[in-house]
Structure formats: structure tokens, C-alpha cells
Structure 1
């Protein structure tokens, strides 16, 4: 997988140079998406039977961190679109064939908040409604939508599922006018009474139990890990990447900056600036190392065929939300230390600051939910949450 990482790193100067352009257009340029695809990035987590690499998740996350360090919006879109190729590998084989059977380069966007109406019918479901925040949807021809199937008369309980729809079943409404992650094109998906066959849906209960229908055709260890473990890291890793980019930009800027309050002394000689840089660097390293160590341990266990212990799954979510918190704290510290000129439109530090805070508000980053689950596990209390 070194070739993919090498290809991604070759793109970084271009992504960095075009970061402001990406923000201004409120979406990624198709040429950027094409260049990312040519590196093999989107195939890293894709099943091998559809020309994918089935790579170690850490390879994918490393690539995402690098991309986000150059352009936050590009890193965010690359991460969420890339992880969808892993999720589709969990669906029934017929769904995978529907998407990739003719073209394994097909991409999917998503919106998981269950804001639409789902009705169970013979052979599948009727789906209607509006879903927001579908990042990169302009570069996808399928979408994954979250929805709750109401309880049935036969006693079947409510079920939170993901529904897979082709672009012919939905429209995209351009509503993405934001202060952060402006280049992600995270527009609304609108569905008007579309039929989704049963095989194009997947229960979150199955993903939590790590027993999904796609494992029959995709038996590799990559498809035996919990959805919450990988998807949550696909959200936090771009934030760590943004903090990394903010750090590099800040250090380069501070080396030459002169502080008026210190009578012409270079900011780099200010001991307070030195301490803030050290603290930010430590927070970034801590967030990444914890996530990387957890992902290695997770994959080692599933590769060995060992049952995943719940304490590890809880630690993964704990360190994921803490990783987000540390990344945000680092960006804040760097921004505070950058002076008034960092406020200018087009400067990297303020763009990383806005992008990171925009990514922070994703629901998977809510610290209380994940930390409460960890605490319940430590105290031996029962857990009832599919996002672990």
C-alpha cells in the first residue's frame, strides 16, 4: 500500500495550493476527486473481488490524515467517501453487485441521521424525506441514508437501518453555506417515495454484532470489525489531520513573525509561544498515537480470529472522542498564538480552525455519549448502544 500513500503525498502540494479555491467553490473540483481516485485511495477499504485492496484501516487513516493536513475539506470528503466502500462490503452481495457489478469505481455519499420516513412493504421499504450533510454527494451516484423502520404489527421491534439508493431515486439540493468545511459540498438529499429492496438495507444491530451478510462473500478480517470503531475514526482522523496542517502552518509562520509587544522580537523567541507549540504538538501526537494503537490492536485480534473484547471497543470510542477534543484544543492553542494577521481570508490557520470546529459538531464526536458508555462498561453496567 506504499504506492497509494506515495501517490497521496505527491498530491499534497496541489491540495494545499488549491485549498482556498476549494472553499470558495463550496465543493471539491472533479479533477481533485479524479486525482485522489487515481492514487487508489478509494479502493483501500474496498473488497478485493471488486478490485479493492482490503488494506489495513491504518493505511487508509494515514492517507486521510495527510490529505486533511493540506486541505480540511478534501480530507473530510476523502474520508467519508472512502469508508463507504468498506460499509458496502457489509451489505448483502446483491447490493454490492448493484453498485460495483459493472463499475467498481462507483462512489457513494451518505447521511445517517434518521430524518426521513421509512415504511416496510413487501420485498423492501418505501423511503421519503430529506437528509442533510451528505458530504461529497456531487461526486457520488449512490447514497447511504439512515432511517428507522417502525415497529411492526407482528411484534417486530423498531430497527435503525442504512438504506442504499441510486441517484435516480433522489435529488441533491444545494444548501451548503457554512463557516467551516465549506469545500465539502455537504448538501441535502431529497427522496420522494422511493422503493428500496430488502437487500439494499443493513441493520445497525448487525453491524454492532459484527455479523453482517456481506461477510459471506467478503470473509477477510477487515469486514469483521465494528462499524462504530472504523466509522468514528474516519471522522476524527480528518480533524487530527487539520490540526497537523494548522501546526505546520503555524510553525512556518511563527519562525518569521515579529511581535510588536516585544519591541521587534521574533515570535519564535517568545518562551510563551514555545510552550504553546509544545502543548499543541503533544496533543496532536497523543490523539493520533492512541487511535493508531487501538486500530492495530483491533485488527490484530480479528486477524487472529479472536473475539473482540468489549473493553477494547469502548476504549476505541473513548479515545476517538478524546482524539477529537485534543485536536480541537491544539488548533485553538495555535490560533490563539498566531496574532491578528492570522484572521485574514486565505490564511491556512484560520481555515483549519474553522474547518476543525465544523467537523467537531458531527454527532459521532459527542464526548458525553462515548465517555458515558466507557464509564458504564468500567462499572459493569449493561450497555445498549449500537455505536460501540
Structure 2
């Protein structure tokens, strides 16, 4: 096993920033390919950033949540699909860190390993000698074809005749792929459907998910590691929300890059930057971007603060993490919509980054976990004294 020293936030952000030109230059090609192209994939792996949620005992950095959020947002400035895919790989690495040591030794033999994952139970795990036989399928399996392992949710029977959700860890080579990822947004994420047909999964590669969502991680071998001192959902919110916030910043980057010399056709404005309308649009976008950043980092900082103190999470705090995620997505989309509308007809060309950014942020706002109204309703229910209508808190 390889033990490394945690890299500083400054160093990790520097590496993410240096990836920006590579991600931007390959974004269109990745989109056409419907998964990350080879240069982007190699750059991500070579940067070491995928190690941020890998145990230190296995060559990882165990980076704090704020650093992870800021790094992923920086990647999204280059390519939203690349950042989204990296976020899924990081969440899945965190999840594998909860499996027994023998499993971690196998999976993290390469600390730059790519692990895809799905939280929604799409399969049945039937008891078999020494483990389980898994049958089912998982849609929206981001980065699966470019991953070595897949950690997906299933259900298994319990002695009382009920079923409980579990995570099952399988080599990608055990799964069939349905190449159905033909979409209008997040095209390069390669979020295909994977299928398990009588796949045997050893017992040590099956993890009850209830305690993980609740914030209890009995299988974690290092109880002092801050990275696992939080419920799963707040961690997921601060991870995937970073891609949405980063896309809003990317929209601002793209707009400002094209602004010099741009005019407003069929008006007397020979410089778009001279028009009061442009000033209002930029200010509106900036407010929305700042609000998205606030909500993203509020959750990230709370995760880090509680990890340091060991303080337990209240139900309201966990619901607020979902609230913050919804706010990040909503405000990011508002910023992108304003800037895309201000970009004019020339922005319709596929070579213009703003059109891809607009489609990507719309796609994220449709994600079941990220949908703003769903998250707002959940928080509002609890604020009104009603029970949560989901276990994903």
C-alpha cells in the first residue's frame, strides 16, 4: 500500500486550473463522442485529482470537502461533463472506502482507479453461497465505460421477509452495457445503462446502505479520518453541486471572452459593452453566481466543521444540504440563462461554449437529486413539522 501526504488546497486548485485549457479544447470532441476523450481522461488521471476521496492508506489524499468542491468547480469551468464525471468517480471512491480492507486493497491497488456508481436501487441481490447473485440494471451510470469498477445500489432480502438497500461492488467487466446515452445535455458524461445478469458478488463486496446514509460507517477502518465523519447525502450534495456552480462561472468566462468587439445587431450599439442592458445582465448573472457559491460552500464548510468537532448532524441540517444543492442548481441556471440570452445568435454555433454550458446546466437541474423544487419541498416539509418523504437525507 502507498501512503502519501495530503496535498494542499492551493496545490490541488493549481492542478485543476492547469487542466482548464485541456478540458475546454476537448469539450466539443468529448460531446460528439458521448464520453470523455482520451486526452481529457489522461489529463484527469495524470493530475492526481481523482485521488482526492481515496484513503491515504491506499495512495489517496483524503481532501476536505471545501477543497473537493472548489476543485470540481474549477474543472467545470473547462468542461461540465468532465467535472460531473469526476464528481461521480470521487463519490464512488469515498463509498468504496467504507468496504473491508481486503476490498479496498483490491480496488485501490491503483489509487487513480475510476469507479462509477448509482445510488438508486435497480437490482435484486439474492443470497448465494459466499455472497449474492445480482440481477438488474442501472440507468444514468456516469462514466461506466471508462471505469474499472461499478458500485451500485440493489436490495437484498432480510430475515423478516422485507428488503434492505445495499451497495454492490462489481468489476465493470461483469456488466453488460446498453449504449443508450443520446441526450441534449451532459453528453460527454457517458451515462449509459449497465445490466447485471446473474453476477456473483462476494459477501465482502456488499455494504448495507442505510447506515451510510445515516452517517454511521462501522466498516471504516480509521475512525479518526474526517473524510467519513458525515452522512452520505450532504457529501454528495457538496460534490455534485460543484459542477453546477462551476458551469455558471464557465458561462461568465465564455461571455466575457466574446464581449470585446461584440455589437448588438440592429441597434446603434457598436460595442455591446456600452449598452446599459449588458451592464444589467452582467450584474444579474454575478448575483446569481455569488448566491450559488454561497450555498455550495455553506454545505461544504459545515461538513468540514462537523468532521473536525465530531458533532452529530441534525435532521434540519441534513435537509438544508439538500436545500443548498437545489439553490446552487437554480441560481447557476439563472446565471447561465441570462448570459446565454445576452450572447446573441452567433452563440448557437456548436463551436460556442455557451450553448453547451446552457444545455449542461439544464440537464443537471433535471437530475432527481439536484432538482430545485424537489429539494425545496423537502426542506419546507420539515420546516412545517411534517416527516421527510425520503430516506435520502
Matched, 1:105 2:125: no
Look up the match of 1:361: 366
For residues 81 and 384 of structure 2, what CA distance do their matches in structure 1 show? Answer: 39
Look up the match of 2:357: 352
Q: Is the 8 A contact 1:91 1:200 kept in 2?
A: yes
Deviations 1:229-275 (A, max 9, x none): 11122222111111110111112223321112322432112212211
Higher mean displacement: 12-21 or 254-263? 254-263
Look up the match of 1:8: 16
Runs of 5+ unmatched residues, structure 2: 1-7
Q: Indicate which of 210, 219, 222 corresponds to 1:214.
A: 219
Within-5 A mapping of 1:61-140 = 61-100=69-108, 102-140=109-147
Q: Indicate which of 328, 339, 343 corresponds to 2:333.
A: 328
Deviations 1:165-206 (A, max 9, x none): 012311223222222111112222121111122221223311
For residues 110 and 209 of structure 1, what CA distance do their matches in structure 2 show? Answer: 19
For residues 218 and 72 of structure 1, what CA distance do their matches in structure 2 show? Answer: 34
Look up the match of 2:307: 302
Distance 1:18 1:31, change over 3 A: closer
Look up the match of 1:342: 347
Look up the match of 1:51: 59
Post-superposition offset of 1:73: 1.3
Q: Indicate which of 29, 52, 62 corresponds to 2:37.
A: 29
For residues 78 and 368 of structure 1, what CA distance do their matches in structure 2 show? Answer: 25
Deviations 1:297-349 (A, max 9, x none): 22112211212232222211111111111111111111111111111111011
For residues 111 and 209 of structure 1, what CA distance do their matches in structure 2 show? Answer: 18
Post-superposition offset of 1:384: 5.8
Higher mean displacement: 115-124 or 238-247? 115-124
For residues 372 and 77 of structure 2, what CA distance do their matches in structure 1 show? Answer: 23
Higher mean displacement: 280-289 or 259-268? 259-268
Deviations 1:52-96 (A, max 9, x none): 111111111111111111111111111111221111112233332
Helix, strand or coil at the partner of 2:375: helix
TM-score (norm 2): 0.92
Helix, strand or coil at the partner of 2:207: strand
Q: Is the 8 A contact 2:166 2:207 kept in 1?
A: yes
The answer to which structure has the higher helix fraction is: 1
Higher mean displacement: 180-189 or 371-380? 371-380
Post-superposition offset of 1:122: 4.5
Helix, strand or coil at the partner of 1:258: coil
Runs of 5+ unmatched residues, structure 1: none
Look up the match of 1:205: 210
Distance 1:103 1:70, change over 3 A: closer
Within-5 A mapping of 1:236-315 = 236-315=241-320
Q: Is the 8 A contact 2:263 2:270 kept in 1?
A: yes
For residues 358 and 111 of structure 2, what CA distance do their matches in structure 1 show? Answer: 36
Q: Is the 8 A contact 1:321 1:370 kept in 2?
A: yes
For residues 387 and 79 of structure 2, what CA distance do their matches in structure 1 show? Answer: 41
Look up the match of 2:5: none
Q: Is the 8 A contact 1:235 1:364 kept in 2?
A: no
TM-score (norm 1): 0.93
Look up the match of 2:233: 228
Post-superposition offset of 1:156: 5.1
What is the number of equivalent residue pairs in this alignment?
A: 385
Higher mean displacement: 156-165 or 339-348? 156-165
Q: Indicate which of 16, 32, 48 corresponds to 1:40.
A: 48
For residues 334 and 156 of structure 1, what CA distance do their matches in structure 2 show? Answer: 54
For residues 149 and 30 of structure 1, what CA distance do their matches in structure 2 show? Answer: 38
Q: Is the 8 A contact 2:241 2:296 kept in 1?
A: no
> Runs in 1 of length 4+ with deviation above 4 angstroms?
none
Q: Is the 8 A contact 1:302 1:308 kept in 2?
A: no
